[in-house]
Amino acid sequence: MTAAAIDARRARRRALLSRLGGGALRVLARTWRIRYVNRAPLDALRAARQPVIFMLWHGDMLPLLWVQRRQGITVLISEHGDGEIIARVAMSLGYKTVRGSSSRGADRALLGMCRAIDEGGDGAFTPDGPRGPAHTFAPGVLIVSQRTRAPVIPISAGASRAWRLSSWDRFLIPKPFARVTIAYGTPTVAHAASAREAASQAPRFTELLDQARAAANHD
């Protein structure tokens, strides 16, 4: 089999998986009972037409894709094969995408995210994506906040009943009819004189994201 044929076969497989995955998510998510914690600061920023940057751990992505759907958010998604499936599912839910990661196409991806926010849209990053290690913070989200002055909002998800995949990120899939809690952290701008200085704030933003995660998983 030629390389072109192999690539075409992989593309068809990814397209099929993305259709199946998107359909399964819609069926499952409509059974969830969703509650929100600390959403008022986000609502105030939206009322003021202030673009924001959502920051989430990769393992929480599935329920967060659902609850933030059709809001015109631009998501940074990696260029590897799994990223293509996620990108297709995200676009079917009304997201825009910029492709790249800390290891591939980083400068182009960050410029794309800055452009989307400067044009008045919101952005979203998974600082530990696309391949981990889990909860290890890559600073791209802070560099974009430093350049655009957009506040970063930590966001996390928890569920009363869920499956956890055996993947590196312990990917969260709330079970049918689960109570899903979406928790927002304090909006915070990465004020800094340079990208390097912004990146040095990673420990503080890691703590903010972990606080949101604790709130989402608090019974």
Q: How far apart are CA 216 and CA 156, in angstroms?
A: 6
State the total domains in the chain. 1
Confidence check: pLDDT of 146 > 70: yes
In which domain, by residue range, is 92 found?
A: 3-216
CA dist 96 and 85 (Å) reads 14
Rounded to whole angstroms, how far apart are CA atoms 121 and 149?
13
Beta strands in 23-151 (DSSP E): 33-37, 53-55, 74-77, 96-99, 123-125
More confident residue, 89 or 144: 144
Q: How large is the average pLDDT for residues 86-91?
A: 89
Q: Is residue 166 helix, strand or coil?
A: coil
pLDDT at 100: 78
Over 90: is that where the pLDDT of 218 sits? no
Q: Average pLDDT for residues 148-152, to the nearest whole number?
A: 98
Q: Which value, to the nearest 10 degrees, does the dihedral of the CA atoms of residues 173, 176, 179, 184 take?
A: 40
Q: What is the mean pLDDT of the chain?
A: 90
pLDDT score of 186: 96
Task: Give the model's confidence band at 2: pLDDT under 50 very low, under 70 low, under 90 confident, else very high.
Answer: confident
Q: What is the mean pLDDT of residues 21-36?
A: 93
Q: What is the pLDDT of residues 170-196, one digit of tens each?
A: 999 999 999 999 999 999 999 999 999
For the chain, the residue count is 219
> 141-161 as b/e, with b when 16 or more CB fall inside 10 Å?
bbbbbbbbebbbbbbbbbbee
- pLDDT-derived band at 157 (thresholds 50, 70, 90) equals very high
Please give the share of the chain, as a percent, with pLDDT higher than 70. Answer: 88
pLDDT at 198: 97
Structure tokens, 190 = 């990465």
